[in-house]
Structure 1
């Protein structure tokens, strides 16, 4: 008997009630999604985050109160490092985009995007992978060009694993492609993130773009 997978627990953090309710209504239509909780501010989200234990948190960047979206991301990432964070916002300014990704966000979607893109971003994030809105890709690459860690050397195999990561492939898929064990790939991924001082795979995608290891049309973009 096949045991069904548990639904993805999603928490919504946005100061606009109409946005939260709209997103919640949309997501509830899918059996693989469960709404774990919702909050109108970063403070409220942090108060309940350990109660909700979400797999994915969808958060706006600009919210009232002393804790904005970026600080909320930082604190949630520190409390629940396995919770994946997807930014859903109207802001595409350079500093906000980069700050959100550096704080620990794994996806970045504009509120103007099709709802299906948000759904894809949540599902992808739950697998530990990235989905970036195409409009921010150039912003991210420009930032990486200015803040390169080019002195770090990766082995040829690590470069190939990084390229596979940036293409959105899972560890098992990379293992099959490179004809090695999944455990070996896990080791390579850990070494890559450590050497490049990266927190997660979103940043690996950015690095691969900057280094020319992969082109934009090869990434899992909406």
Structure 2
């Protein structure tokens, strides 16, 4: 899951030793709960964290909340693609149940990272496997009660800050229907699914979508969401 380059083996060994030392020295409960839609990913993460006590591997928010209500847990690692529920509400509910819980989020859609303020570590899925070993860095942050953001998350936040400080927001005005299309983007709907949701034809949705991308000056949905949120002209539903 986390391929290593020969030149990085030494750094990985050092980080691994630091983690084991942190596990031994930390007074935090060593139990961990994993929350991901993918069973395969759950299995891979359980293997990565085998030196901890993995007490539950859940596919959705409700299942994870039930597990947290039944047993004290020290750590939680969750993805933003869940069988049911959202990582943002999971983080809020989880910390209300167990205020001392330390959490890591692994995000396929990094744009949601600005809403995951409760998480000690946030990692862009695309960063997994790089030489910095972000999952292990995130684990270290949880164990030491510090904060870690992977490279992809930091670059996204920098882009958001740059765009927010620009003067372009007042020049872009979206129609109500274009806001609808953005919300469909944020939900991950295809054009056909968006058409069914909005009661429009697929062709009409495609036309609105093309107009929206042109108005924002971008070429794909991800960049459209990023620019709309960064300019403050759209609030994507949490």
How high is the TM-score relative to the length of structure 1? 0.55
How high is the TM-score relative to the length of structure 2? 0.51
Structure 1 vs Structure 2 CA RMSD: 2.8
The structural deviation recorded for 1:4 is: 9.5
Aligned mates of 2:157, 2:78 — CA distance in 1: 19
Change (3 A) 1:139 1:25: same
From 124, 130, 140, the equivalent of 2:141 is 124
Aligned mates of 2:33, 2:106 — CA distance in 1: 12
Aligned mates of 2:29, 2:90 — CA distance in 1: 24
Unaligned 5+ segments in structure 1 are 149-222
Change (3 A) 1:141 1:110: closer
Structure with more of its chain in helix, by fraction: 2
Unaligned 5+ segments in structure 2 are 1-23, 166-238
Q: Give the match for residue 228 of structure 2.
A: none
Give the match's secondary structure for 1:36. strand
From 64, 78, 87, the equivalent of 2:105 is 87
Aligned mates of 2:94, 2:81 — CA distance in 1: 16
From 67, 71, 82, the equivalent of 1:63 is 82
The structural deviation recorded for 1:138 is: 3.2
Change (3 A) 1:119 1:10: farther
From 108, 115, 119, the equivalent of 2:122 is 108
Contact 1:7 1:34 in 2 (8 A): no
Aligned mates of 1:3, 1:136 — CA distance in 2: 29
Instruction: Indicate whether 1:15 and 2:42 are aligned.
Output: no
